[in-house]
């Protein structure tokens, strides 16, 4: 098992990988800042502590191997950033009011290839709106498997240590 890294180091690495290859990603998170990020050929587990709406600290680790739980998550629809137009937005809004769940229009949008952050910032995929997701939600990542629970306990400790070391005055208010 490798040691947890500060989130400020591992998150940019994840973003760089997504920018280079935006296909095949899956994300699951919890309201407590626990995150699983799965790329086509790697997996990361994070514990993030929000500092404000635009910043966070915490810890993360690249998972050494895949397991049954991770492969099940990879069978879900892939995460991505997808440009959408006004007609797409109307389809999404109409589908939200639909009693049958997801509409064919939403399925069509999810089948579109996700684009990288760079492509979104250029005119290559100019769009007024961007659909981000899907992101799977769960109350607690530790309930997925004993391996993920063990890693989550280690990440919680490491994230709290990073928070206390970087923001001792703020950490004293909460812990």
Q: What is the pLDDT of residues 88-112, one digit of tens each?
A: 888 888 777 766 656 777 788 888 8
Prediction pTM value: 0.84
Tell me the pLDDT tens digit for each residue of 32-51: 999 999 999 899 999 999 99
Tell me the pLDDT tens digit for each residue of 117-155: 888 877 665 677 888 999 999 999 888 989 899 999 999
pLDDT at 175 over 60: no
DSSP codes joined into one string, 28-83: EE-TTSEEEEE-SS-EEEEEEEEEETTEEEEEEEE-SS--HHHHHHHTSPPBEEEE
User: In angstroms, rounded to a whole number, what is the distance separating the alpha carbons of residues 127 and 143?
Assistant: 39
């Amino acid at each position: 098992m490798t040691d947890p890294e500060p989130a400020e180091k591992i998150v940019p690495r994840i973003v760089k990988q997504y920018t280079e290859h935006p296909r095949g990603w899956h994300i699951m998170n919890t309201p407590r800042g626990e995150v699983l990020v799965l790329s086509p050929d790697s997996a990361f587990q994070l514990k993030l502590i929000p500092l404000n709406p635009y910043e966070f600290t915490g810890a993360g680790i690249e998972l050494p191997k895949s397991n049954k739980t991770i492969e099940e998550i990879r069978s879900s629809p892939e995460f991505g950033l997808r440009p959408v137009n006004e007609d797409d937005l109307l389809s999404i809004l109409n589908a939200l009011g639909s009693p049958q769940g997801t509409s064919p229009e939403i399925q069509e949008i999810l089948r579109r290839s996700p684009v990288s952050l760079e492509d979104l910032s250029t005119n290559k995929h100019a769009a007024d709106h961007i659909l981000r997701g899907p992101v799977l939600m769960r109350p607690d990542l530790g309930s997925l498997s004993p391996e993920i629970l063990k890693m989550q306990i280690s990440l919680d400790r490491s994230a709290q240590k990073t928070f206390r070391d970087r923001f001792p005055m703020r950490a004293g208010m909460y812990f």
